[in-house]
Amino acid sequence: MASTATADSPQNTPFTRTVVGAVRSLYPEEVADRAWDNVGLLLGNIDSNSQTALGLDATPDHKTVLLTNDLSPRVAQEAVDKKASVIVSYHPFIFRGLKSINLEDPQQRILLQLAQRNIAVYCPHTAVDAVPGGLNDWLIDIITGSTQQQGQDRSVVQPTAKPPPAGFEGSGYGRKVEFPRPVLVTDVVRRLAEGLGGLRHVMVAAPKQPEISTREVRSAAVCAGSGWDVLKDSAVDLLVTGEMTHHNALRATMEGKVVITVFHSNSERAYLKQRMQPALEAELKKVDAGAQVLVSTEDADPFVIWDVESLGAGATS
């Protein structure tokens, strides 16, 4: 794979190569959905010898990694301010080929800013979703209130297209679970809100909304992000994902299912702090005791819920 060759290039800084190896050991690229996803080292950096050979000023190789769900201008500046050498962005900030690189496009402006500062960017995305114990298993842990090691009856919704590497058997997209006993939808909502970082609002679609407060479910399927294509054929009582279109939610409720959505990145972001940060830092410290992994404080979902009544009286024309 092209990204593998790029990441292993001796021209990347030693710390960048260490970070890439550590992320791959946790979330191998082989289990990512490469039919559409763009995972790997999307922006490399240059070691001191190569900088000297190119006539560039040498930049320090700081031993700091910044984790983020999305790579926005605010997160890019945060990486500069916190002296990160590598950004691990869950979502790829480059999905399609670029025909130009200029300052007019905000995505390309980030690319130029980070390249100037010699900051690399690695994106694992669906590899994080797919691995056992990854993002979707974490969502199941939240809605069941227990971990995979506690014997929950869970399974993959959609297996990977190719056999996963050794040690990652059972990889795939989405997860299904059978609850040991019926669970109130309201209890699932409370668990989600707490587990995802203290959300105040979630969206619920149900066949009969007036009865939702007493509705119980026996099974659920989850898929972080925009999960309809993975979840749509799941024979379960409850679907949990980040976002779903009007027509897909309508179809699900017509099939008798309850749908819970929390906004796309809200279904993903807390995983970075709760699971990825400690796992990646432990892996890095096996090689470099001085390594540290930070989680972005600038990263946030672009959507917020406004309570219109709290806006007060507006101006009238």
Q: What is the DSSP letter of 308?
A: G
What are the strands of the beta sheet with 153-159, ordered from one edge? 153-159, 172-184, 216-226, 238-243, 258-261, 203-205
Residues 272/71, Cβ–Cβ less than 8 Å: no
Under 8 Å between Cβ of 130 and 172: yes
Number of helices and strands in the chain (H, E): 12, 11
Is 105 annotated to bind ligand? no
Consult the annotation and say whether 283 binds a ligand.
no
Strands in 64-68's sheet, in edge-to-edge order, are 40-43, 120-123, 86-89, 64-68, 292-295
DSSP string, 17-70: HHHHHHHHHHS-GGGS-TTT---EEEE----HHHHHHTTPPP-----EEEEESS
Is 37 flagged in the annotation as binding? no
Report how far residue 218's alpha carbon sits from residue 161's, in angstroms, rounded to the nearest whole number: 29
For tokens 């179809």, what's the residue?
Answer: 251
Annotated ligand binding at 247? The verdict is: no
Q: Which stretches of the chain are assigned E, i.e. beta strand?
A: 40-43, 64-68, 86-89, 120-123, 153-159, 172-184, 203-205, 216-226, 238-243, 258-261, 292-295
CA 121, chain centre distance (Å): 15
Which residues line the annotated binding site for a divalent metal cation? 91, 129, 264, 268
The annotated binding site is made up of 91, 129, 264, 268
